[in-house]
Structure 1
Amino acid sequence: MAKVSADQLGSESIGKLLVKQAVPASIGILVMSLNVLVDSIFVGNWIGSIAIAAINVVLPVSFFIAALGMSVGIGGSSIISRALGANNREKALKTFGNQIALTLLITIIMVILGLTYVDSIIPAFGGKGRIFDPAKVYYTIVLYGVPFLALCMMGNTVIRAEGKPKFAMIAMIIPSIGNLVMDYIFIYIFDWGMAGAAWATTIGYVLCFSYVLYFFISKNSELKIGWHHLKFHLPILKEIGSLGFVTLARQATTSIVYLLMNNILFGLGGEAMVAVYAIVGRMLMFALFPVFGVTQGFLPIAGFNYGAGKYQRVRESISTAIKYAAIMASVVFVGLMIFPAEIASLFLSSKEGISASELAVNAYVLEHTPTAMRLVFAATPIIALQLIGAAYFQAIGKAIPALLLTLTRQGFFFIPLIIILPNYLGELGVWLAFPIADVLATMITGYYLRKEMKKELS
């Protein structure tokens, strides 16, 4: 696969450049998503559907801590892309050094707090009834590996900002393959249950960190920092914080959504309904991988060319990214509308000798998941505009509009909808909240993106 240098971001054809950036990002996201998907299938078949619900309870907590690293990474990478575009290499080095130090400091503190208050956190996120014990086992082990994941997420965005998408892709593939291999060994062969699933995930994080570390100390990276670059530089920290807060706010909102959804659905249908949401949630991570890949590929292209003052190329990158992402989203939409029952059945155990309660949960999940999946993904063809529009403002360093547009779907629309609609429509109201929020958020994002392009990029 062709390697892209930082300078090529400002000279090569936008279409070809977006393919070079987006394909590795999409493959990396696909493999990571497949990891989550297959991991859930293994857990559901080898441990049980309650175990899937338990992992769904833990994910928002561990993902939030990992998102601290991602937010530092994306915030700093926006600075790095623009600094490289403006030929200011020293600022890029200082930014990267500050990203490393800040990620380590924040995530270690969060892990300590997370382990201290474990018995309060798990029930708050819906880990009640039979879900609590397996969720606690999984949570405690996985949390030890989360700082490694945070450093991987931070480093991955910097690798992409350097114009090295192939290496970013490999960094995402390694932990996924490692996790699946360890799943087979720890769960199927050693029969360690939830502890095995947790150790497999943690080892995957460590493998990812090892590769990212190798990239930056090898000749592949252009960012060779010294110890002095790790010293906190207040103006850079402020800029990382203002831009990274967009990603952090998005993930914090996602964690709040998981908290609300798990609790609301537990009240509507108990552990089985939480398992339905766990399967739908896995498909939200997996099915949209090509759209997220285009978005990730778009970020360094837009940031570099904006920093270089090449506004026509920025306009072209926006329109091309939206077109590519919309095509991908439409293909995903068709598949999910046709095969929801077949997808749901993959997560459920068919082995002989499972308990009557497990059989009852499986029957409930298989009955309710297809309708839920069709409603959740009903507005998928239009989300490309929403994602690329919000990403554009983040890429060019405009933190406030990026933050507001990022929060529009989940914060301003979705959370109020899932609180209000179930009171009148029950379970149906929960699933209808997804497409309604998508449509409203896309309309607002489209309006502000068009206004910005006329004002700044004409």
Structure 2
Amino acid sequence: MNKEKDFGQGSVSANILRLAIPMTLAQLINVLYNVVDRIYIGHIPHTSTQALTGIGLTLPVITIITAFANLFGMGGAPLFSMARGADEPERAERIMGNSFAMLLASGALLAVFCYLFKHPLLYLFGASDVTYPYANAYISIYLLGTLFVMVSLGMNNFINAQGFGVTGMLTVSIGALLNLVLDPLFIFVFHMGVRGAATATILSQCVSCIWVLHFLTGKKAIIKLTRKQLHLNFSLIREISALGLSGFVMSITNSSVQIMCNATLQRYGGDLYVGIMTVINSVREIITMPVMGITSGAQPIMSFNYGAKKYGRVKSAISFTAISCIVFTLVMWAFLFFFPHVFIRMFNSDPKLLKEGVPAMHLYFFGIFMMALQFAGQSTFVALGKSRQAVFFSLFRKVIIVIPLTLWLPTIASLGTDGVFLAEPVSNFIGGTACFVTMLLTVWRTLDKRK
């Protein structure tokens, strides 16, 4: 089994695809957890637009939960892969155990904090008196399943890091398909509305969580999760947190951008435009998840070969990842440009939302292929343990570029809501170029010298 999962042998692209294809499918299926909720809720009779907008207001909270899952899951997995590549199984065990312990602790604290402060948080995120009841009803139930979300998302990285891409895909597939079935049952049959959507989601995440733990403690895992490795080692936690900080910062800054966008759109356009942003965020999730699947599939390959000092294979993995991401996002840009109505109608058929949503989508997704450069550069930094660079470029694109532009562009030449949607493409061009070029000038050159 160890020999079969040796990423230092065989074709680099084949190794990446063996992980990336199931992981891409897993990422797409994972999107269904929340996107399916929005699809069903967006078609509830009479209150669809208000309910959809209310669900959109909970996205920053969900993103923050994902951020902590990334901090300890995506932070621990590359270190875990490097330890495997360097033939240090005991260190790999300790890394996985400490990541799991921190996922549990942070998840519990996060759930309590968000529940206690949900009222001011939701109004800060752009809620109105009309949309708050829907947002409150959804998030109050969703927070009960925070630990399930943290474990299923965070620990699934360690299944993939051992080369079990199909098993990792099944983790999210089982929960997502269950959510697909339970959503209409709770929403329309039991007439629970948004509460039904949240209930279906946490039950589905619970099943995914059980699946992950069963595999990592079972016979098939190469390196198992054991109780004796759950004792916290603060030196290891610092290493895990430092490497996971990039994914954490990216998610936190995404949450900050969502908050700024919703608040600014509420000011210049009202609930309708907050609803449009909910649809756009949902479409963006669908598009970025395959890109994240490719980069996530490449990371264990890069980390393993870097730990094994096979630098030529690391370079091949970087090239394959970047080209694949660029090609995919170019194709998706074409679809979004010519068929925006198809994507919007997935979530809502309100004529007003369709009329204003099409030009908004054209602005927001302009040149989205530049986003691929950010993802490719960022994943390379993370895979090779370059945490400072990864964190910097996460902050650079979102905090230094997007948030100021979101606040400033609407005031220029009466751009209003258009200014909010323009901030994203500008940041993709500047941030994507800066991240990828820096990676080439630093990491790529270093690999050449070591090779």
Fold agreement, TM-score > 0.5? yes
Corresponding residue number in structure 1 for 2:37: 39
Corresponding residue number in structure 1 for 2:367: 379
Corresponding residue number in structure 2 for 1:439: 429
Equivalent residue letter for 1:232: L
Deviation sequence 1:215-256 (CA, Å, 0-9, x none)? 112222112243221101121011011111211111111111
Return the offset for 1:346.
Answer: 2.8
Do 2:66 and 2:251's aligned partners in 1 also have CA atoms closer than 8 Å? no
CA distance in 2, matches of 1:292, 1:20: 15
State how 1:33-432 maps to structure 2 within 5 Å.
33-46=31-44, 48-349=48-349, 362-424=350-412, 425-432=415-422
Deviation sequence 1:67-91 (CA, Å, 0-9, x none)? 2122101111111010000000000
CA distance in 1, matches of 2:28, 2:336: 16
**TM-score normalised according to structure 1 size:** 0.94
Return the offset for 1:454.
Answer: 4.2
Return the offset for 1:363.
Answer: 2.8
Equivalent residue letter for 2:437: Y
Equivalent residue letter for 1:16: A
Greater displacement, 81-90 / 221-230: 221-230
CA distance in 2, matches of 1:51, 1:429: 25
Return the offset for 1:187.
Answer: 0.7
Do 2:410 and 2:420's aligned partners in 1 also have CA atoms closer than 8 Å? yes
Return the offset for 1:160.
Answer: 1.1
CA distance in 1, matches of 2:55, 2:276: 13
Do 2:370 and 2:433's aligned partners in 1 also have CA atoms closer than 8 Å? no
Helix, strand or coil for the counterpart of 1:130? coil
Pick closer, same or farther for the CA change 1:211–1:225 going to 2, 3 Å.
closer
Return the offset for 1:261.
Answer: 0.9
CA distance in 1, matches of 2:331, 2:2: 28
CA distance in 2, matches of 1:272, 1:454: 46
Greater displacement, 223-232 / 197-206: 223-232
Return the offset for 1:345.
Answer: 2.4
Pick closer, same or farther for the CA change 1:338–1:88 going to 2, 3 Å.
same
Equivalent residue letter for 1:39: D
Do 1:107 and 1:147's aligned partners in 2 also have CA atoms closer than 8 Å? yes
CA distance in 1, matches of 2:149, 2:173: 13
Deviation sequence 1:82-105 (CA, Å, 0-9, x none)? 000000000000011111111111
Return the offset for 1:42.
Answer: 0.8
Return the offset for 1:343.
Answer: 2.0
**TM-score normalised according to structure 2 size:** 0.95
Return the offset for 1:7.
Answer: 4.3
Do 2:33 and 2:201's aligned partners in 1 also have CA atoms closer than 8 Å? no
Percent pairwise identity: 29
Do 1:41 and 1:348's aligned partners in 2 also have CA atoms closer than 8 Å? yes
Return the offset for 1:309.
Answer: 0.6
Pick closer, same or farther for the CA change 1:454–1:142 going to 2, 3 Å.
closer
Return the offset for 1:422.
Answer: 0.8
Deviation sequence 1:118-150 (CA, Å, 0-9, x none)? 221111111222111111110100001011101
Equivalent residue letter for 1:302: M
Do 2:23 and 2:168's aligned partners in 1 also have CA atoms closer than 8 Å? yes
Do 2:302 and 2:383's aligned partners in 1 also have CA atoms closer than 8 Å? yes
Do 2:280 and 2:361's aligned partners in 1 also have CA atoms closer than 8 Å? yes
Return the offset for 1:35.
Answer: 4.3
Greater displacement, 305-314 / 215-224: 215-224
Do 1:66 and 1:146's aligned partners in 2 also have CA atoms closer than 8 Å? no
CA distance in 2, matches of 1:37, 1:224: 33
Return the offset for 1:301.
Answer: 0.7
CA distance in 2, matches of 1:247, 1:225: 23
Equivalent residue letter for 2:431: A
Return the offset for 1:193.
Answer: 0.8
CA distance in 2, matches of 1:224, 1:348: 45
Corresponding residue number in structure 1 for 2:14: 16
Equivalent residue letter for 1:403: V
Gapped regions of structure 1 (runs ≥ 5): 350-361
- Match among 14, 19, 23 for residue 25 of structure 1: 23
Do 2:31 and 2:285's aligned partners in 1 also have CA atoms closer than 8 Å? yes
Return the offset for 1:326.
Answer: 1.3
Do 2:73 and 2:155's aligned partners in 1 also have CA atoms closer than 8 Å? yes
Do 1:64 and 1:252's aligned partners in 2 also have CA atoms closer than 8 Å? yes
Helix, strand or coil for the counterpart of 1:25? helix
Return the offset for 1:406.
Answer: 2.1
Pick closer, same or farther for the CA change 1:35–1:98 going to 2, 3 Å.
closer
Pick closer, same or farther for the CA change 1:117–1:168 going to 2, 3 Å.
same
Pick closer, same or farther for the CA change 1:86–1:7 going to 2, 3 Å.
farther
Return the offset for 1:53.
Answer: 1.0
CA distance in 1, matches of 2:108, 2:215: 23
Do 1:5 and 1:163's aligned partners in 2 also have CA atoms closer than 8 Å? no
Deviation sequence 1:272-305 (CA, Å, 0-9, x none)? 1110000000000012332221111111111111
Once superposed, what is the RMSD of the aligned Cα atoms? 1.5
